[in-house]
Structure 1
Amino acid sequence: MFDSRHIRTFHEVVRAGSYSAAARELGYTQPAITQQMKALERTVGVPLFTRAGRGLRLTEAGETLSRHAELILGSLSAAQQQLAALARLRAGRVRVCAFPSANATLIPEAMARLLAEHPGVRVELLEAEPPDSVQRLLRGECDIALAFRYPGAPTEVPDGLDEIPLMEDLLTVLLPVGHPLGRRHAVRLADLDGERWIAGCPRCRANLLQVCAEEGFAPDIVFSTDDNLAVQSLVAAGVGIALMPALVLSFMCHRKVTGRAVEPHLRRQVSAYVLREHRRIPATGLVLDHLRRAAASRVGC
């Protein structure tokens, strides 16, 4: 394995033409230059220089190394610059894995502000429902995971992860326009007994079953999908109604669908998760900060 100091010194010796000239340029003593070149030759296994009068001449091995030295030093310099840029937030790559409604709401708002203030930061966006998003974080497939949990769900955070609470997301009921209960400002969950339901992801479906059971009925689930746009289309078509987070309301596409608050109020906790040691990485911390700001702007909406 080459020592980068030796390569740098070798390059200067070749450029300057002698050990003494290289020593003056680098601020070393000539014996120090000599020792470094001997160490480099031991690493290479063959001589790099031969004497030519008072100067030096490169051997065949020396010529070969000389051709590569500039490239090696250029790559090292580029790496140092990239690392410095990363530390100064001029560059960086952060992989974020979030659930669909966060990808459609929190992520765009956070990333717009982030890129306006720090255009050198690059974000790769992945999508997965919890707990898969957190598992991808644990496997090293992303740097930040956004996930949600419902009241009563386990709150234990896996070892090595930090949880950053972002917001509480109010749950609403999606009804087709013209539904009798759509005239109300808020709908009692118990009044939805007897309706056909469209369930979401497994975690959302489990929550729907639980909250309906607490109100004394079992929902008639006729369709299940974790595609928010598909849910809206199904509700618009009169297939059923759905319990959806308020985050979804901001990108509802169907004019034939309306959202109403549910009584008693139902919420889910939205959090970001990150490996504990990664919170010290500047670009990661920056993305987390902008996610917090985006979530705070939606509290009470």
Structure 2
Amino acid sequence: MLDVRRMQVLRAVVTSGSITAAAANLGFTPSAVSQQIAALERETGLPLLERIGRGVRPTAAGTLLTEHAGIICRRVAEAELALADLRAGRTGRIAIRYFATAGLALVPPALATLRREHPGVQVDLKLTDPEDPLPEVRQGRADVAIVVVPPGTDPASDGIRLVHLLDDPYRVVLPRGHRLQRKRVIDLADLAEEPWVGNEWPIGPCVRLVLDGCAAAGFTPSFVVESEDYATAQGFVAAGLGVSLIPRLGLGSPHPGVVVRRVTRPEPVRVIQAAVRASALDTPAMTCLLTALRSAASLAVS
């Protein structure tokens, strides 16, 4: 295998016109340059230089290697520039995964900021179903995911770091005219005998938070209707089919046929976080994205 460094020395000799001039330009001794050329000739099995007066000129083999050394230099320079752009966040790719309600409130403004500040970064953006994009990051298919991590879960052992974005409390959605609508805050236990409208399928971490909250209040909710999203669930509630617990971020513009109230004892809260591959955490593009996500989260709860 040819030694690339020796090829660069040969190129310096050919472009300088002599071993002495090349040595001066490279900061080597003429003897060291001659040794490098001799070693390269042993590698190729061909003479690379011939003397002309006080200088040297390349043989056919020397000309060939000099041309390829120039190509290598250009490729190395291009690689260094590309790496510099990547380090500075001017180029690269970032894969983002999110669940629906986070996509509505957090991702669009954050993505707009990322595109404005790092226009050369390619974005791979996908909605995940069901609401648990964490495996995408764990398996290396995404750099960051907006997630609701169940209590007690620590993904750090999988090379993932969690960045807190916001706490999203649940609200009870009642049909207008419901017996409890005059109360500003409703004890969760007061809903024990109500028919319930589900709002997530298949079951994910958000449903488990609701079930755990009801269990803490001493009951298991009786689901009479299942839906796959919060908007449809509000429609079922408005029709008088039951009540539903929906996170504040998922309420959007509440259905005109429902009323929304706080719940207490307990108040279920889903903690929304950004799960980031540890190796991508400190890149300029990721830093920008996380800052923008936190800013969007602050606006969402204000």
On whether the aligned pair clears a TM of 0.5, the verdict is yes
**2:223 is aligned with 1:220:** yes
1:156 to 151, 154, 176: 154
Work out whether residues 7 and 69 of structure 1, in 8 Å CA contact, stay in contact via their aligned partners in 2.
yes
SS at match of 1:170: strand
Q: 1:241 to 1:59 in 2, by over 3 A?
A: farther
Mapping of 1:247-262 within 5 angstroms? 247-250=249-252, 260-262=260-262
Instruction: Provide the residue aligned with 2:165 in structure 1.
Output: 166
Instruction: Provide the residue aligned with 1:282 in structure 2.
Output: 284
Residue by residue over 1:88-115, the C-alpha shift from the partner in whole angstroms, topping out at 9 and shown as x without a partner, is 3333433222222222221222222233
Aligned equivalents of 2:257, 2:51: Cα separation in 1: 88
Shift of 1:33: 2.7
Work out whether residues 137 and 274 of structure 1, in 8 Å CA contact, stay in contact via their aligned partners in 2.
yes
Instruction: Provide the residue aligned with 1:37 in structure 2.
Output: 37
Aligned equivalents of 2:250, 2:215: Cα separation in 1: 24
Aligned equivalents of 1:3, 1:104: Cα separation in 2: 55
Q: 1:188 to 1:77 in 2, by over 3 A?
A: same
Shift of 1:184: 6.7
Structure with greater Cα Rg: 2
Work out whether residues 134 and 147 of structure 1, in 8 Å CA contact, stay in contact via their aligned partners in 2.
yes
Work out whether residues 236 and 256 of structure 1, in 8 Å CA contact, stay in contact via their aligned partners in 2.
no
Shift of 1:20: 3.3
Amino acid at match of 1:220: F
Deviation larger for 94-103 or 72-81: 94-103
Aligned equivalents of 2:129, 2:91: Cα separation in 1: 29
Instruction: Provide the residue aligned with 1:77 in structure 2.
Output: 77
Count of residues in correspondence between the two structures? 289
**2:207 is aligned with 1:208:** no
Work out whether residues 130 and 204 of structure 2, in 8 Å CA contact, stay in contact via their aligned partners in 1.
no
Residue by residue over 1:18-45, the C-alpha shift from the partner in whole angstroms, topping out at 9 and shown as x without a partner, is 43343344343333333333444455x3
Q: 1:156 to 1:129 in 2, by over 3 A?
A: farther
Amino acid at match of 2:57: L
Shift of 1:73: 1.9
Amino acid at match of 1:68: H
In the TM superposition, structure 1's runs of 4+ consecutive aligned residues that sit over 6 Å from their partners are: 181-184
Q: 1:211 to 1:14 in 2, by over 3 A?
A: same
SS at match of 2:300: coil
Identity rate of aligned residues, in percent? 29
Aligned equivalents of 1:206, 1:52: Cα separation in 2: 83
Residue by residue over 1:54-99, the C-alpha shift from the partner in whole angstroms, topping out at 9 and shown as x without a partner, is 4222334x44434433332222111111222233333343322222
Work out whether residues 182 and 258 of structure 1, in 8 Å CA contact, stay in contact via their aligned partners in 2.
no
Work out whether residues 173 and 243 of structure 2, in 8 Å CA contact, stay in contact via their aligned partners in 1.
yes
Work out whether residues 19 and 33 of structure 1, in 8 Å CA contact, stay in contact via their aligned partners in 2.
yes
Q: 1:5 to 1:248 in 2, by over 3 A?
A: farther
Shift of 1:269: 0.8
Aligned equivalents of 2:103, 2:259: Cα separation in 1: 20
Residue by residue over 1:149-205, the C-alpha shift from the partner in whole angstroms, topping out at 9 and shown as x without a partner, is 35xx324333143322221012234567x5647787666543474334133142223
Amino acid at match of 1:125: L
Mapping of 1:179-194 within 5 angstroms? 180=178, 189=188, 190-191=190-191, 193-194=193-194
Aligned equivalents of 1:106, 1:202: Cα separation in 2: 20
Aligned equivalents of 1:186, 1:243: Cα separation in 2: 13
Quote the RMSD (CA, aligned, Å): 3.5
Aligned equivalents of 2:215, 2:293: Cα separation in 1: 34
Aligned equivalents of 1:220, 1:157: Cα separation in 2: 32
Work out whether residues 130 and 148 of structure 1, in 8 Å CA contact, stay in contact via their aligned partners in 2.
no
